[in-house]
Structure 1
Amino acid sequence: MSKNARLSLIIVAVVAVVVAGFLLFSRNDTTAAPQSADGRVTVVEYLDLECPSCRAAYPGVERLKTEYGERVTFDVRHFPIPSHRNSELAAVAVEAAGAQGKRDDMFRLMFDAQQEWAGQQTSQRAAFTGFAQQLGLDQAAFDKALDDPALRERVLAQRTEGSKAGVTGTPTFFINGTKFTGAPTYDALKAAIEKVRS
């Protein structure tokens, strides 16, 4: 075998190893929706608080959370769409409320009042501050958190993570790492969860 032929074979072998390694790590990447160590089902939802479809899916998701309890892990992550003027700040407000133990309550208020604040081209910070007051949050701490670059970075990191996982719109669900397709109704999501659990 000539020296050039051996060199070509070595290059092909190295490329094959690199490609195989890439495929292996891509296949095992569970960033989007990890399954818990004890084998329970994990549902990850990427949402935009200004998105009407996310608001429509919200009651069904809450019903599923109640029905499954600890048997299914629900993980809500932010995917603020850049064309939605206030979705990023809304996500930061949810995380700011979460720092005071009221993340789920802030989600509920955001969706309950979505028609009042969503779609506005001016900042809705005052509305979000009003939600914090309704929840009895420490106002100074909440206001400070709204301006915290670390919270904003956490929100944007979740959006980046979602993009890498194939999220292009909201809401997008992953059930044990598999992207859910179809309308995210209560019945459809429950059927998908049951399929994984069986």
Structure 2
Amino acid sequence: MNKLTKNLIVAAVLLAGFAAAIGSYVLLAPDTPSSTALDVKPAAEAKPVRDSSHRLSDPANSELTFVEFLDFECEACGAYYPLVEQLRKEYGDRVTFVARYFPMPGHRNGELAARTAEAAARQGKFEAMYNKLFTTQKAWGEAQESKQQLFRGYAKQIGLDLAKFDADLKDPAVAKRVQADQRDGLGLGVQGTPTFFIGGKKITNPESYDAFKKQVEAGLAAKK
């Protein structure tokens, strides 16, 4: 892990700790989602993972479930992305890795990116778009203008049928699918991104890969 990635992770952890320390008022500021800001109500029976959730790995004999509520435009999510990928390489044959949408209202293209990934999922290419959006985040993140045409270019690059992609991107059902993840997140107390659940329990975001690995190992040990 390079120095920049480590610094971003440390900064994200410190920010989360600071917000928790000064109370819920700050957690409901514009860049932190609330049911009002998202125009989405928390799910009455929220679950960390559902049958319809997108699985990045799904081993036949899964011993543990790892869930991330994410925003593709979130810089901290981008910093954690290589760590999650490393965990997938190491534990993908034992752990089910799940990605769930939680676009933040302060990000101009966060919700659009989520719908882009969901439109790709309708053509069996969720993982390809998930990877594309994170590996290119620096090219479009924090932009104040719509990046729909750029994302359409990504759709072409990963081999999607563009006519179907365009139609799916506008389909209200795709937006509702993103909102369904948000509803679960809000119901589970997700207040920012990334938020991780290991074995159904929300964890404190780790400061390093080794700390992340310890959390996964502890989750695996608890299942034995």
Residue in 2 that maps onto 1:70? 93
The Cα of 1:99 is off from its aligned counterpart by 1.3
What aligned pairs does 1:21-170 form with structure 2 within 5 A after superposition?
A: 31-33=47-49, 40-170=63-193
Aligned-residue offset at 1:102: 1.3
Classify the secondary structure of the residue corresponding to 1:94: helix
The yes-or-no answer on 1:193 pairing with 2:209 is: no
Give secondary structure in 2 for the equivalent of 1:44. Answer: strand
Structure 1 residue 40, shift from structure 2 partner: 1.6
Q: 1:110 to 1:150 in 2, by over 3 A?
A: same
Could you tell me whether the CA contact under 8 Å between 1:97 and 1:132 is conserved in 2?
yes
**Cα drift, residue 184 of structure 1:** 5.6
Separation in 1, partners of 2:207, 2:69: 12
- Between Structure 1 and Structure 2, the one with more helix by share is 1
TM-score, scaled relative to structure 2: 0.71
Which residue identity is paired with 2:79?
A
What secondary structure, in the 3-state scheme, does the structure 2 residue paired with 1:31 have? coil
What amino acid maps onto 1:101 in structure 2?
G
Identity between Structure 1 and Structure 2 (%): 47
Bigger Rg, which one: 1
Distance 2:190 2:207 in 1: 14
CA deviation vs aligned residue, 1:47-84 (integer Å, no higher than 9, x gap): 00000100110111111112112310111000000111
CA RMSD of aligned residues (A): 2.0
Q: Which runs of 4+ in 1 moved over 4 A?
A: none
Residues 92 and 146 of structure 1 are in contact (CA less than 8 Å); yes or no, is this contact kept in structure 2? yes
Letter in 2 for 1:135: I
Aligned to 2:15: none
Contact 1:57 1:185 (C-alpha < 8 Å) held by counterparts? no
Query: How many Å separate the matches in 1 of 2:109 and 2:170?
Result: 14
| Conserved 8 A contact 1:33-1:43 | no
TM-superposed deviation, 1:30: 7.0
Alignment coverage as a number of residue pairs: 169
Please, which runs of 5 or more residues in structure 2 have no aligned partner? 1-44, 51-57
- What SS is found at the alignment partner of 1:120? coil
Amino acid at match of 2:70: L
Alignment-derived partner of residue 42 in structure 2: none
Match of 1:20 in 2: none
**C-alpha displacement of 1:185:** 3.5
Question: Is the CA contact (8 Å cut-off) linking 1:33 and 1:175 kept in structure 2?
Answer: no
Q: Distance in 2 between matches of 1:165 and 1:106?
A: 26
Contact 1:33–1:176 (Cα < 8 Å) also in 2: no
Question: What code does the residue aligned with 1:186 have?
Answer: Y
Q: Which 5+ residue runs of structure 1 have no aligned equivalent? A: 1-28
Q: 2:98 aligns to what SS in structure 1?
A: strand
Show CA shifts across 1:10-34 (max 9, x none).
xxxxxxxxxxxxxxxxxxx771257
Relative to structure 1, is the Cα distance of residues 39 and 67 closer, same or farther in structure 2, using a 3 angstrom cutoff? closer
